[in-house]
Structure formats: C-alpha cells, structure tokens
Structure 1
C-alpha cells in the first residue's frame, strides 16, 4: 500500500510542476477525536502545509502535502505484543501525507466555497514500552546502537471529506477524517478509534 501511495504522490507532483502553476496553502487549527479515539487523545493542535495545482481547465484543484498534529491530553491504552500486554500512550506527533482533490465553487466578491476530499497515508506515534522494557532488562542488546529510540508509529490509510469557505486568500474549514489505526495492526484492537473532526483557518499564498 505504501508503494502505491508513493507512486500516486510522485505522479501527481510531476503533473503539478509540469503545468507551471503553484500556490501554497498553510493551515492551523485543532483536531477533535471522536468515539473510541477520544479515549486515547484529546483535542490536539494541527498544522498543515500544502502545494496546490490545477487539475484541468476547470476550477478543480489538487493539493499535495502534509498535516501534523501534536496529541493533547493523551491517555493510556492497551498495546499487545505476541507475549505481553503493555499500557502506553500517544507520544511525539501524528499526522498524514497525501493528496486532496478539491472542487472550487466561485460565489463572487472574492468569496469561494471548496469541497475537499483527502486520500493518503496516516501515522500515529506512541511510546514503545516494549523496547523500553527490553532496554532495561537486556541492556547488552542495545550497546551497539547509539540511537536507541522508544518511539514507534501505527500506520494506516487516511480518507476524508471537508468544506472550506474562502474570502480572498483567507478561509475557514471543517474536515472529517477516517484513519483506522486498528485495521492494519494486531497490536491494538480494530475498535481502537478511527474518526476525527478538524476545525481551522487557511491562508493561501
């Protein structure tokens, strides 16, 4: 899946640069986890940087970029390995890398409305308690490495839908995201949590 996403992003990027059209989009806001995901992470600051290009002669656009969240009010959850059960929590950053096909509807007087679809790769970093335990119990296994890390990440796909209201080069947006972290790993259950809403401001340059 990662190879397919990488190839798609590469082809989309080459197509954008070939058109000689560029516009950068900066985003800042808050992501609010919903359902079971809200039991692990609270509302979190979110920042995004996107490169925009025109898809065809219409007002359809394609945004390529990254969105990063800093998990807030993290709570412990069960993390299962083949022989142990640990209690850990989100740590570091979470986010997604992907593309956003966007429909732009001009309202007039510098007003526009955008319907945004999102597809990409999502990740959530967490404190690797298993590695921490092994480091304490078997330090000789880590002596050869000077860059021992106790941070790992869950990986999954990201799909979403959102709407954005723009005035000139400033906008407000709300976006729904589906990131099923429990679907592609055996370390956490499938009902780990997948849903969230993002609210933020947008600036295009």
Structure 2
C-alpha cells in the first residue's frame, strides 16, 4: 500500500511539473511568416529566431551582436547546468531619441544543427527577473512554448486579463499584447504583484520621454477600467516637426489595476484634436470610460482651434531657423559665361531675421575670385576694351523656409534677389579719391537654392540668373547663368 501511495504521489508531482501551463500565465506569442517568434510576459519582449552559423564560431556570435545592436556587453559565458550547448550574453543599451530609457538584454544561444543556432532574446525596460528568464528557457528547451504561440495576426477577438473581447475585422496585433484598431491602440502586461505592475508603468512613462515629442499636458484623471474605478495618468504628446505637416496630439492613458486576480499594466492611446480632447477611440471604450469630464474638455461643437506646440520654456530656443550662416564654396559658370572664367572660389555670410519658427528673411553677401580667366570685351562709351574678371561681389536678400527632416538634420529651401557686381582688371584713366580705380559692371541677380545640414554644418546648392548685358557693358553673349555650391556653418 505504501508503494502505491508513493507511486500516485510521483505521478501527481510529475503532472504538476510537466503540465502545459508551465507557470507562465499571462504570456502571449506570435509567429511571423519567417517562422520567427515574439512573446510578451511581465514587461519582457522575448524573441526566438534561427541564425545560420555554429555556436563555437566567433563570427556567428559577432553577427548576432551586430544584428541586435548589442552596445555594452556585461557578461558572456556558458551555463553548464543547461543540457544543451549554449552561450549566454548579458548586455545593456540605450534607445534612440529616448535619453531616459535603458534596455536590459540577455541572449541565450543554443546549437541547433551543424549549420544553425537558435537565439532566445529577452529585452525589458525593468529590472531583470532571472527566475522568469530561466523558466522561459526551460520551457523552450522542453518544446512547451508552442502552447502560447499563434500564427494569427488579425485580432478579431482578444483575451484581455481573462476576458474575451470581440473587436471585429479592423484590428491587428502589432506585437504580443499590443493591438491596434483604426483610431486606437492598447498594450498591456500581466505581473505577479501590484508593485511590479506599478513599477513597469512608471518606467514606461519615463521611457516615453522622446526628444522628438513635446508634452502638451500631463495629469491624473479618474476613469473606470474594466468596471473598476481607477486612476489613469494622462499624457498628451505632440510631434515637434513633421516635414511641414500638422499632426494631431497623441493622447496616452497609463493605468495599473488588479483585474480578476491579475495585476495589469496597461497603456492606451488615441489621437485627439487638441490637449482637451477626452473622446476615446472605440478600442479604448472596450475597457475604459471617463465618467466625469473636466470642465475644460473639448466639445465637438466648439470653434476648432488646432493644437499648437507647448509654450516656450524659459531659456528655450524660440526659433527653429538658424540666424547666422558662414559659407565657403565656388561659383561655377554655365553656358557662355564659361568663356569669361571657369570657376570662382567664394566666401560669404548671412544674418537672419526670423518671421516664424521655421521661416526667416536673410541679408547677406558673397565675394568670389575667378580663376582660369579669359579676355572679354568691356564697353566704355561704346568702345570695347579687352579685360578679365577680377572679383565678383554679390549682395542680396532671401526668403528661407526650414524643416527638421530628422533629429539634428535640417532641410532648407530659399529664394532671393540682389545685385551682383563684377570688378575687372581694367584700370580707369581718371578716378576720384575713395572711388575704385577699376572698371566694373553690375546687374540684377535672381536665385533659388537648397541646404541640407547636420547640426551646424551643411551643404548648399543654388542657381543664379544674372543678365549681365542689360547694363550695355558687355555683349549679349557674355552669359547669364551659374551655380554656387559649398559648405555652410550655421548658428
């Protein structure tokens, strides 16, 4: 009888140890068309991929590091207790444009065959949970993760904290526990305690501070989440630049709540008309409502006022456009003008007067020194005199429009007009004090150009139309077109 009881106890223990759930409740996984798997569990993004190579080949390991942009390797080792050839890499990295975000990463690399390895990667913004990582790896090695993985990308229905929600055909999984419907998006994680869920939501709020986004408003608001009175942290973000396009504010609700015995960290978002727009997208309405709207809430019958960026902070730069430009380049004549000179190295400067955040009017000059000069006829009192171009001086005004194409990358277009003067090497027979002793001729200059720069340094290219012959100092075939290109330093 004693042996029968021991046998039954062994069977029960074995069943509990090898049951399908593996104590990973709250995990969701998706498989893409390449066979790669993404999972989410307790704030972890977990990926499983197959890579060509051998686990003992350093080139294979280096290729994996390059693929995942591994910046700082904290440790690299093998774990002898794992009954499979392995290599483990622990690292940390920063997230581009998010200065307060730090990503903890660990990569488990396993030999799959003579030509392939499998990589199980863990990434989290929170503190690492080594016990959770080891449990996921154990289940992976036992081929138990299939239970949690789906090949379906549409989200006709979702299981949210133990409740099935039917969404229809307009929704799709962006990643595990991250669903998007037209007009709204929701992502969430399940945690073993309220404290860990609350830590996760605070980390996400901090990590979402983005150098390309302004925060228009930030406060707490009473909501009802899954039928439970809750407090949501509401943040309204606005993109700083969009290639001249207006973008609506993104309104995000961060919520932590215990739902049906599960501790949920949830991020819900939709675009609104302005910072006071509290209307919720249909997806958000499935899990949340706002019972009492603030007095300042936007009403659809209000006169529309598009939301601008936040007010300027003390000491903050008021204008996006630069105000000073120093340049060095070369004038390259086109057509007949090449008969006078082949090129003219130049220097110049502009001072800007901003009229809007991205617009300015500039006053500037350029001085160019022709090289490879050729003789041409200069007419004085209708008599021709053979001479060469000595110095070219341009004084002009331009209208400029500047856009931020990417972080620290600026794209500028401009157009302008001015006066251009060509001083010759033909000396006057008589001249007054303070007057130039060299003959010159002037004409109108009309031009347009572009400038693309990274931080303070950029490249410019512009076309100039200069009808030199209108002053009757040179022949009509003297030429009238040139391009000017070079480097500009902006402040």
Give the alignment's TM-score, normalised by structure 2.
0.33
CA contact (8 A) 2:361 2:400 kept: yes
Distance in 2 between residues matched to 1:169 and 1:80, nearest whole Å? 44
Distance in 2 between residues matched to 1:148 and 1:157, nearest whole Å? 22
- RMSD value, Cα: 2.4
What's the offset of the Cα at 1:145? 6.3
Q: Aligned to 2:438, which of 151, 157, 160? A: 151
What's the offset of the Cα at 1:83? 5.5
1:158-169 matched pairs, under 5 angstroms: 158-169=445-456
Q: Aligned to 1:47, which of 341, 347, 352? A: 347
Distance in 1 between residues matched to 2:468 and 2:358, nearest whole Å? 34
Deviations 1:143-168 (A, max 9, x none): x9677854121111111011110111
What is aligned with 2:479? 193
Distance in 2 between residues matched to 1:51 and 1:146, nearest whole Å? 31
Q: Aligned to 1:79, which of 354, 358, 378? A: 378
Deviations 1:180-203 (A, max 9, x none): 1111x2221223111101110010
CA contact (8 A) 1:113 1:164 kept: yes
1:51-66 matched pairs, under 5 angstroms: 51-56=351-356, 58-66=357-365
Q: Aligned to 1:68, which of 344, 349, 367? A: 367
Residue 122 to residue 147, structure 1, CA distance change in 2 (3 Å): closer
CA contact (8 A) 2:396 2:419 kept: yes
In structure 1, runs of 5+ residues without a counterpart are 1-18, 136-141
What is aligned with 1:33? 333
CA contact (8 A) 1:22 1:51 kept: no
CA contact (8 A) 1:62 1:101 kept: yes
1:172 is aligned to 2:472: no
Distance in 2 between residues matched to 1:158 and 1:145, nearest whole Å? 28
In structure 2, runs of 5+ residues without a counterpart are 1-317
CA contact (8 A) 1:163 1:173 kept: yes
What is aligned with 1:115? 413
Residue 37 to residue 83, structure 1, CA distance change in 2 (3 Å): closer
Residue 200 to residue 156, structure 1, CA distance change in 2 (3 Å): same
Give the secondary structure class of the aligned counterpart of 2:399.
strand
What's the offset of the Cα at 1:175? 0.7
Distance in 2 between residues matched to 1:149 and 1:94, nearest whole Å? 14
CA contact (8 A) 1:127 1:150 kept: no
What is aligned with 2:402? 104
CA contact (8 A) 1:55 1:62 kept: yes
Distance in 2 between residues matched to 1:146 and 1:101, nearest whole Å? 37
Specify the structure having the higher radius of gyration (Cα).
2
Distance in 2 between residues matched to 1:190 and 1:24, nearest whole Å? 37
What's the offset of the Cα at 1:42? 1.5
What's the offset of the Cα at 1:22? 7.5
CA contact (8 A) 1:22 1:53 kept: no
What's the offset of the Cα at 1:53? 2.0
Residue 123 to residue 149, structure 1, CA distance change in 2 (3 Å): closer
4+ residue stretches of structure 1 with deviation over 6 A? Answer: 19-22, 144-148
Residue 168 to residue 126, structure 1, CA distance change in 2 (3 Å): same
Residue 75 to residue 203, structure 1, CA distance change in 2 (3 Å): same
1:202 is aligned to 2:488: yes
Give the alignment's TM-score, normalised by structure 1.
0.76
What is aligned with 1:8? none
